[in-house]
Amino acid sequence: MTSGRKLTSSISATLIRLSRIAAKSRRQAFALIFILGGCAQQVFADPSEVTNIFSPLSQPAQEIKETSLLVLAVCGVIFIIVAGLLIYAIVRYRHRAGDEASEPPQVYGSNQIELAWTVLPILIVFVLILVTSRTIADIQDRKPPPTAVQATVVGHQWWWEIRYPELGIVTANELHVPASTGDRRQPAFLKLQSADVAHSFWVPQLAGKTDLIPNKENLMWIEPTKPGTYLGNCAEYCGTQHARMLMRVVVQSPDEFDRWVKEQQKNVQVATNDDEGRKAFFANSCVNCHTIRGTSAQGKFGPDLTHLMSRETLAGGVVPNTANNLRRWVRDPQEIKVGCLMPNMQMTDQEVDQMVAYLQTLK
């Protein structure tokens, strides 16, 4: 009686354990399917919706893609041969009944095979090195034509400072460049610097990654041909808000770009009536970090606010530049971006509203 009950309980315990294992592996299977699905979606997604390295819309991204497809194809062929041989060996020489009695024939060394698997990979690697270094040299040696747009991009924790020294423009997080057209080639040549730690400039559809290193200047260039907004982000871990250090490259038709330049070159209109918001801005320590050209605010640590309202986003590209977000950002930056260098100024609701009203005049 007891042994029967013991047997039943041990069987049910085993069944429960088995069902748990099954449930667990089902979860793992689902997780695997989700991951594979996500990867497939990235590769096959509509290129207009995803910043996809496989849908470049600029040099040098196009050139990089061609080289990487060649490398991928060579590696793919090698993978298929190796995996094919492995599967063939596993199936053809699998364990069969009656194999216990004898050992399979033992083969020691074969000069031909060893030569083949030494020489062939060396040749393949050599070809890949030549192709890759040609692409790298071709991209790095490109000289700016006289029509090129020159900009300096400085990485900060966690935003991008963008300067156009020849045009006298300073802005943040949104790099405007003209589209290169057939008869008017205007690549943008970028000097990359860092104000603090290492960052990395990466807009997948325009070019490969290039790091921004403290005390070292790196160079890169882009030559987009299609107007539009291209998304990128910092690609080198640089602290708590690294993932929220977003970059937008706004590619405009040459005429639109010229108009943008003219607007950005203007100083702010000095307000004749000294309103409360303006007073609040200049009475607080905002001026220590921010510049508003044409006023006494000449701080350098934070983004230039001269044409703040011409930008689509705030806080390093994290939120759209709307009145509500501007209010949230001014009231408590730490709520939107924990750890950012802009402090909560402990302003009253009224002061916040006045300050926002002033900032909204910076068009």
Provide the greatest CA pair distance for the chain: 103
DSSP code of residue 143: P
- Alpha-carbon torsion angle 256, 244, 345, 286, nearest 10: -40
Comparison of 59 and 157: residue with beta carbon closer to ligand CUA: 157
C-alpha to C-alpha distance for 6 and 58, rounded to whole angstroms: 73
Question: Residue 315 CB, nearest distance to ligand CUA (Å)?
Answer: 14
Backbone φ, ψ for residue 223 (5° rounding): -140, 75
Comparison of 149 and 153: residue with beta carbon closer to ligand CUA: 153
Question: Residue 320 CB, nearest distance to ligand CUA (Å)?
Answer: 21
- The single residue among 56, 155, 187, 317 that binds ligand CUA, judged by CB under 6 A, is 155
DSSP code of residue 157: T
142 binds ligand CUA (CB under 6 A): no
Stretch in the footprint of ligand CUA (CB under 6 A) among 32-40, 130-138, 203-211, 233-241 = 233-241
Question: Count residues contacting ligand CUA (CB under 6 A)?
Answer: 9
Asked if residue 231 lies in contact with residue 246, where contact means CB atoms within 8 angstroms, the answer is yes
CA-closest candidate to residue 277, choices 328, 318, 327, 335: 327
Comparison of 213 and 268: residue with beta carbon closer to ligand CUA: 213
Stretch in the footprint of ligand CUA (CB under 6 A) among 30-38, 236-244, 248-256, 323-331 = 236-244
C-alpha to C-alpha distance for 328 and 337, rounded to whole angstroms: 11
- The single residue among 65, 142, 191, 242 that binds ligand CUA, judged by CB under 6 A, is 242
Helix (H, G, I), strand (E, B) or coil at 236: coil
- The first and second tokens of residue 274, run together, are 């000294």
Query: Which residues in this chain contact ligand CUA in the complex, by CB under 6 A?
Result: 155, 158, 199, 234, 236-238, 242, 245
